[in-house]
Amino acid sequence: MDNFISPTNILALAAEINLLNATSQMQIANTGRVPSDTNSNLRGDSICWLNEAEASPAQQAYFDKMEDLRCGLNQHLYLGLSTLESHLALYPIGSGYQKHLDRFQVKSDEQFPQRQISCILYLNQDWLAEDGGCLRLYLNADTNVALNVESNYLDIAPIGGRLVMFLSGTFYHEVLAATRIRKSLTAWFLTR
């Protein structure tokens, strides 16, 4: 979905990433639920988790749109989405995130919210095809199938204002390396 929020808010959110990065408030991203589990071979981004209670005006505009989206998804698709977790992300030139799912592995006796819908809002201005950095969304959920034929995936350019949504536990995806710094706001709708 292109033009999900206004260009003014896209610019403001991108500027927030720049400021957070310049003031060392972006943190190297983890993999999994263990806070110290960083793996630079798997992913190369830095992130800053958002707190709606402390949201800037641009963040609040985003949260308001996401709440409207959550209500619409629940009303029309009966998904039972309850909350949203979000972070700003910055990928340095040449970094990416290898193929993965966004839902954590859980044991049958564990009780905690599950990621259901992954949402990525891109904050990149004047992005060109030659800049790279696409989201590669695999269309076959079978992880045992070699997915290197073009018909098995969809590459989505990280154009500012574009929102991409998919089922967190179903679609494998990866972030391809870019020749420019790549910025996004990534979120997950959770169920209880």
Distances (CA, A) of 141 to 78, 100, 106, 114: 22, 11, 18, 18
The answer on pLDDT for 60 being more than 70 is: yes
DSSP H/E element including 89: strand 81-91
Q: Report the alpha-carbon distance of residue 89 to residue 118 in Å, rounded.
A: 14
The answer to whether the CB of 167 falls within 8 A of the CB of 125 is no
pLDDT on residue 113: 81
Instruction: Report the percentage of the chain scoring pLDDT > 70.
Output: 84
How much is the average pLDDT of 43-72? 97
pLDDT on residue 107: 58
More confident residue, 81 or 35: 81
| pTM confidence score | 0.89
Q: Report the alpha-carbon distance of residue 120 to residue 103 in Å, rounded.
A: 15
The ranges assigned to domains in the chain are 7-191
How much is the average pLDDT of 6-20? 98
Q: What is the CATH number of domain 7-191?
A: 2.60.120.620
pLDDT on residue 84: 97
**Among 32-41, 67-76, 97-106, 147-156, which stretch is predicted with the lowest mean pLDDT?**
32-41
pLDDT on residue 147: 46
How much is the average pLDDT of 108-132? 89
The answer on pLDDT for 187 being more than 60 is: yes
The answer to whether the CB of 135 falls within 8 A of the CB of 186 is no
**Among 30-44, 116-130, 171-185, which stretch is predicted with the lowest mean pLDDT?**
30-44
